[in-house]
Amino acid sequence: MTSTRHIPVLSEEVLKFLACRGDGIYIDATLGGGGHARMILEATSPGGTLIGIDRDLNALETARESLADYRERAKLIHGNFRDLKEICQKLGVTEVRGILMDLGMSSDQLEKTHRGFSFNFPDDPIDMRMDESTEFTAADALNGLSERDLRDIFWRYGEERWAAAIAREIVTTRRRYPFRRVGDLVGAVKRAIPAKARHGRRHMATRVFQALRIYVNGELEALEQGLESGLSLLAKGGRMVVISFHSLEDRMVKQAFNAAKREPELFGGKRFSVLTRRPIRPSEGEIQANPRARSAKLRAIERNLT
């Protein structure tokens, strides 16, 4: 998998808020296929350096190919942005001018990796690990967690209305056979929910898939850590831009930015200004051209000069 199908979201806005200069160090903490990274590299020519991070080795390989022309100025790293501080420490980097996080999944992960992220491929294994070097898969969760834990995951991370019924159906089903394929899970969701709930605007399994993915990949814990580390790495005048795709993530970003602004003692007296009072949303035109952009929300923050 070396070419990307992923269209970068809110790209003009990302560049505007990062306010890139032709020098300094920038981090793309969610490299994906390298779409935003390429734009940052172009905007920071000739002297800017980009540190690109992704926890998915396939994404890294794709980005390595698509950013080959910028090899001299791009350091691409397999890692989790949860460990941003340690990653920077290893590179000898103490301050950066800009950080981008474009959360969630890339179109490549959904459509090309066949690791069970999409309910559209019933024969795929239910794996859902973004980083295949980790151990715990979505199938392990479905076959091993208690009914109560499953219900809590669907409710908390998916805001799934039928969480309890779906968890019950999963536990009943797995007494007969273990969950292995995407189709097994879609079937259980279908059996658990009322017939009238099966044909909404969104696929009936959307929320359950989202919830399991967030749980298996520890996405909210990583975001919490990544935001904190990112804010602590910003140089004076440096900026952090985060694009999120669901309300749990957006709430965390909003709260982390507001806390940094209100409580300078959190970051050793450093002061911050939030640049987006409300989140920036994609235009209708962008959503039409790229439906994946529909739920995107961008927030940005700047470390003050003084």
Beta carbon of residue 246, minimum distance to ligand SAM (angstroms, whole number): 12
Residue 90: which H helix or E strand, with range?
Answer: helix 84-91
54 binds ligand SAM (CB under 6 A): yes
80 binds ligand SAM (CB under 6 A): yes
Identity of the residue, 76 or 188, whose beta carbon is nearer to ligand SAM in the bound complex: 76
- The residues, ordered by sequence, that sit 6+ positions from 139 with a Cβ below 8 Å of its Cβ are 116, 125, 126, 127, 178, 179, 180
**x/- contact string, 8-47, with ligand SAM (CB under 6 A)?**
x---------------------x-xxxxx-----------
Identity of the residue, 164 or 220, whose beta carbon is nearer to ligand SAM in the bound complex: 220
- Supply the Cα-derived Rg of the chain in whole angstroms: 20
Identity of the residue, 91 or 148, whose beta carbon is nearer to ligand SAM in the bound complex: 91
Beta carbon of residue 31, minimum distance to ligand SAM (angstroms, whole number): 6
Beta carbon of residue 219, minimum distance to ligand SAM (angstroms, whole number): 6
Q: Which residue is nearest to ligand SAM (CB)?
A: 32
Identity of the residue, 237 or 279, whose beta carbon is nearer to ligand SAM in the bound complex: 279
Exposure string of 129-160, with b = 16+ CB inside 10 Å and e = fewer, is: bbeeeeeebbbbbbbebeeeebbbbbbebbeb
CB 281 within 8 A of CB 5: no
CB 261 within 8 A of CB 301: yes
Handedness of CA 116, 122, 124, 127 (dihedral sign): positive
**Contacts with ligand SAM, residue ranges (CB under 6 A):** 6, 8, 30, 32-36, 53-56, 59, 80-82, 102, 104-106, 109, 130, 222
